[in-house]
Amino acid sequence: MVSIVVADDHKIVREGLIRLLEAREDFTVIGEASNGEEAVAMVLERRPDVVLMDINMPRLSGIDATRQLGKAGCTSKILVLSMHESRAYVEEVLRAGASGYVVKNSASKDVHNAIDAVRSGASYLSPAITQQVVDAIARPGDGGPSGISMLTDREREVLKLIAEGLSSKEIASELGVSLKTVDSHRSNLMEKLDIHKVSGLVRFAIRAGMVEA
Amino acid sequence: MVSIVVADDHKIVREGLIRLLEAREDFTVIGEASNGEEAVAMVLERRPDVVLMDINMPRLSGIDATRQLGKAGCTSKILVLSMHESRAYVEEVLRAGASGYVVKNSASKDVHNAIDAVRSGASYLSPAITQQVVDAIARPGDGGPSGISMLTDREREVLKLIAEGLSSKEIASELGVSLKTVDSHRSNLMEKLDIHKVSGLVRFAIRAGMVEA
DNA sequence: AGGAAAACTGGGGTTTCCCCCTGATTCGTC
DNA sequence: GACGAATCAGGGGGAAACCCCAGTTTTCCT
């Protein structure tokens, strides 16, 4: 019997997923969470075999939740569910400690297979993205890890706030640092991403799932 | 017996929805579509009682698909499924001719109720958004349709280029007009949309489907 | 443990661009 | 003629982008 916690911010999606999971008699859903914080707390308390975690969630993203669970020494296998197929995403998710990455455009059978895979200690990547991972490995000199992974935590934070529409001054006050510091981070991340316009940063942040469109 | 077509670009979401729908014995799903064009073709061919339509779909958005079905004289009731709760969305959806608006953060029971409602000729709006619609009606002078429809062709063109990352100077040369003209359009469209930051414009343009993220 | 590298922090100054303001002219439509 | 749309213009305030720099802390590697 495989115990599972489902985390997704949309109730109806959660319900649907649970139905699909419980079509397998050896799967049992022991909890559901509607945001990242709730997911972390629930997983640490109930210790499921597998966590089916959406990326886009309020309060704490699925990626950050995965990271926290890893630091907390949690042994539950984490299967990330995402609507994005971009390489940057997959990298981030796997580095955060997830065991699998399933795109939402998968059949329920694929999810079943993914759960079986991570249960046995393996990794699972949706067919749609394995090719991209292979591509990424095949050409390591194409400019590096494609973006977001080369940013520091602070730079990611600043990027997110830029994309949300805050001015540098507002970001400075939000983060409790000086305007000049924000300016530095801003310059540095623009240099790293080779994106030198706000519009480009916003699109990048949206593609990367850091902010909603 | 109520016949239903489900349109959503994520297969797993479709599957989940179908399960939830068929939990009601008087509901039967007679087709599923993964994009707007497919949805329009299928609905016109199979004439379901109800269409459960996601907004975010490739090729043709759920809103545009709804509009096309209306023009084609389709009598199927359209129930739009959306992850957004903003007023601008709801207005656009209803003006496109949909009979209902259900946020994804609803329980399956709500979807059942919504289908019953539109079947009997009524409208259905998720509790989360009814208040917003009431607000919008209560103050009709707050700017009108609150969206892209109030922009002129030229302003839309400028907005698109802004969102694509061009500077005003580049837009001017692209359109073959002076920098000052672009500046005017820029100011005017910002005023109309009440969005005064590039980041906000980019997100708006992406939501409106004018540019890719 | 010790040192190197990176990250985070802060500052000064310059240039460019954005944003808003007030105007104006032409054109087509109602 | 009134109106809206599109075109163009000047000027001013402010933010952003880019340049230089440097101190502190954290992280990483040997």
Return the beta strands (E) in B47-142 as ranges. Answer: 50-54, 77-82, 100-103, 124-125
3-state helix, strand, coil in chain A (%, to 5): 55, 15, 35
- The residue whose two tokens read 């990271």 is A67
Which 103-122 residues of chain A touch chain B by CB within 8 A? 104-108, 110-111
What integer pLDDT is reported at residue A5 of this predicted model?
95
Q: Which residues of A touch B9 (CB under 8 A)?
A: 105
User: Which token pair is A89?
Assistant: 């995403």
CA of A180 to C1' of D23 (A): 14
For A42-60, b where at least 16 C-beta lie within 10 A, e where not — what string?
A: bbeeeebbbbbbbbbbeeb
Distance of alpha carbon A67 from the chain centroid? 9
**Is some CB atom of chain A closer than 8 A to the CB atom of B24?**
no
* Strand D contact nucleotides, protein CB < 7 Å: 4-11, 15-22
pLDDT at residue A97 greater than cutoff 80: no
* Single pTM value for the model: 0.53
Helix (H, G, I), strand (E, B) or coil at B12: helix
Beta pairing partners, B52: B6, B79
pLDDT at residue A142 greater than cutoff 90: no
Do residues A8 and A15 touch, judged by C-beta distance below 8 A?
no
Tens-digit pLDDT profile for residues A35-84: 888 999 999 999 999 999 998 887 778 888 888 887 777 888 899 898 87
What integer pLDDT is reported at residue B137 of this predicted model?
42
**Is some CB atom of chain B closer than 8 A to the CB atom of A163?**
yes
**Is some CB atom of chain B closer than 8 A to the CB atom of A138?**
no
Angle at A156 between CA A164 and CA A175, to 5 degrees: 70
**Is some CB atom of chain B closer than 8 A to the CB atom of A16?**
yes
Q: Which residues of B touch A207 (CB under 8 A)?
A: 213
Tens-digit pLDDT profile for residues B187-198: 988 888 888 899
Distance from CA of B123 to the nearest CA of A (A): 20
Q: Length of chain A, please?
A: 213
Distance from CA of A157 to the nearest CA of B (A): 16
Closest Cβ opposite residue A20 in set B19, B201, B213: B19
